[in-house]
Structure 1
């Protein structure tokens, strides 16, 4: 297929584009930032530009992985988020509908599921209940109501709803992929280094960018048969709903029971296990409907550490790279 990939210069796009090519697709990369796989330089908010790209490249399917992201909130007005994340998504959907497409992928974010209460660790008394933060929040596709805590989440949720309408009104097979964290970290926070934090997050809210790219490839093939689906992408968690209370009181002890080799492997690197985990993303639905399971999880991380293998992620080197990685 001739695939339009937005965000082609971003962290996900840089990994996904060559994988699409290797799978036999012809990729047209679109981004506001130049990159190795970006041939269309411009914004999805520019409808005339989007229409020209579709016409010039004979686009047959769209993977919309671009947009403004959380780090952009400090430097751009809210109107820019609406123009790019909402109006830009609508421009792509309408172009896809006019072209008679049967599939459309939208890269969304688990961030829009995190209310201010969950973010502060005060939103759940127990699994499925709101209260005084006595238990970690169990995050799956049934979580409701969704009350995003910032303009980034609000506009991504609005774009998801436009995708839903595209399926209802035009019959396009649409898959919304709410990705967990796959961008690199750079800073040390509360004495915990970036690689240590990323390793901890594989337990409950992270996946590698390679797994994120592979999931998009699978979803591209499955979209027409799925109709409309919203799926969480994250490494498979070792936890279950019944662990939510323990995760808020003594996560390290629970992790040590599930992974007896973890404390020693962590200590050898000077790392620490998390004392408290306030949320867990469940990717069970995406595993069931896509038949896709992330290759890298906490168990494979520990096995690699024991065998001296390189970590499946690396700390970011600079601010600019971090901005691109959110694209």
Structure 2
């Protein structure tokens, strides 16, 4: 298929474009910033441009990974988030319907699931880690990023219901390479490693999931899928995870504390949320390859860590 890939110059786009091509698709990259995989410079908020791209390139399907993200909150006003994340998604949906498309893959975020209550350890109405799967709600995004991504998700569902277009909504966990923009209490590598226990995946796994979703979309019809490394924990451990995460980790990985000490790292003393990606495995047929065990194995053997870390990375400017 001739696939329009938005966000082709972004962190996910640079991994996704070659994977789509390897799967046999002809990829047309769209991004406001130049990049190796970007063919058209411009914004999804520009409806006239979107219509030209569809007509000029004979677009047959869309993978919509372009967006303003949480770190962009300090760089752009709220209106820019609405323009790109909401209006841009609407433009693509309308153009896809007009072109008679049968599928669209939308990159969403687990961030829209996080409320202040979850961050305080009260996500399930009790003092325990929040167990987050696709049934979790009500959703109360805490910033303009989450609000606009949730609005875009609802547009996707509306266009599936009204027009029958298959839409795969992929709520990705963390896969960014840069430092965390709110937590600096540990080394960046240490933070990322810890997050593989319940809220992170590699960018390679995120890209692979999009390729699978594109292939399965017409068969599934509509689906919302959380994407994160498989958690080793069980829902019944949620209370102890918040109270004494290290004891829970030790049960699953007896040598984790020793391996971390050797690396000069610190295991989390509490975990306030776990993203359960089981639905994606059961329905979409996708499971992330890299998990916390892979991180520990790299520490154990001296191999390279199985995830990217680049403190200097910044997403391309509009």
Question: Counterpart in 2 of 1:175?
Answer: 168
Q: What does residue range 94-173 of structure 1 map to in structure 2 within 5 Å? A: 94-119=94-119, 121-124=120-123, 129-131=124-126, 134-173=127-166
**1:322 partner SS:** coil
1:65 to 2:65 alignment: yes
Q: Which runs of 4+ in 1 moved over 3 A?
A: 187-191
Report the counterpart of residue 4 of structure 2 in structure 1: 4
Aligned partner of residue 38 in structure 1, secondary structure: coil
> Which whole-Å CA distance do the structure 2 matches of 1:140 and 1:32 have between them?
33
Q: Aligned partners of 2:294, 2:68: CA distance in 1, in Å? A: 32
After TM superposition, the score normalised by the length of structure 2 is 0.96
Partner of 1:25: 25
TM-score normalized by structure 1? Answer: 0.94
Provide structure 2 residue ranges, at least 5 long, that are not aligned to the other structure: none
Equivalent position SS for 2:214: helix
Corresponding residue SS for 2:175:
coil
Match of 1:295 among 274, 289, 292: 289
Where does the alignment leave 5 or more consecutive residues of structure 1 unmatched?
none
Deviation, 1:322, is 3.2
Q: Deviations over 1:50-80 (max 9, x none)?
A: 0001111110000000011111111211111
Aligned partners of 2:168, 2:273: CA distance in 1, in Å? 24
C-alpha deviations, 1:65-123, integer Å up to 9, x for none? Answer: 0011111111211111111111110000010001111110000000000112212x242
Q: Does 1:286 align with 2:285?
A: no
Aligned residue number for residue 36 of structure 1: 36
The residue correspondences of 1:264-283 to structure 2 (distance < 5 A) are: 264-283=258-277
Equivalent-residue separation in structure 2 for 1:308 and 1:97 (angstroms): 51
Q: How many residues align?
A: 317
User: SS where residue 30 of structure 2 aligns?
Assistant: strand
Measured in 2, the distance between the counterparts of 1:300 and 1:77 equals 39
Question: What does the per-residue CA deviation read over 1:154-173, in whole Å, with 9 as the maximum and x for residues that have no partner?
Answer: 11001001100111111111
SS in 2 for 1:257: helix
